[in-house]
Chain A
């Protein structure tokens, strides 16, 4: 009998295909595991409604379950809605290391988009940066440039 903790630990190692340094556990995309009769149900939640990585993540979780000889399926849940606050501190550190500025602050739901005072450059650490576009290479990121080292970088948006 494989314990829930073991299942969570194993499937939690599945990485985000868009940001391969982050696992779905780091991201908070992995929500939990439960049992329905003999079947194990792993629940995951998308970062954005249209996140194209979800199909692959679902598939990888399924493969991980198979490798553990666990009879299970993957369920996608939307509520409660994912927020960048679920990202682990370890995940944020890995993001910075990878060259992506981690999310900061939080947004009031239903309210306007908040404007951060500054986003620190993940490459040289300078706070002197400029937002180039609020939309970046994927839904979850915006595009910035550092005015000190002149490198462009992605920032994981607060959601």
Chain B
């Protein structure tokens, strides 16, 4: 009886996903094993039944109506954020690179401001836009800075770029 890994190897062989050496081994085994041969026939038949037989589905809306909704949405988004998505790629890269630097600068600025506080009470400051937080302990004279990188909004940009 075939084990699960052998069944998956057989499938990978039929899909052309194995290395040459492994494909030769599976082919030799397939030629001798009746159970493997029967499974191979079933997998091939299923594949040929599916390939090229996707049901023909047509969009149930007229060209004009469908397009009018898309056009409206494009215009709405362009009004909301003009040219943001259509920036050249190099400009987006610079924007992505500058974001952490801006965050660092803001953190440094906040750290300096916190350092100037006249009271001796430990304080925490959160920067919601950058995902950074500082903690100042005056007694010990220590300042801790947490940086979450990439910041949420930047990660979304990065993901959008990777998506392509």
A and B associate in one complex: no
Interface of B toward A, CB cutoff 8 Å? none
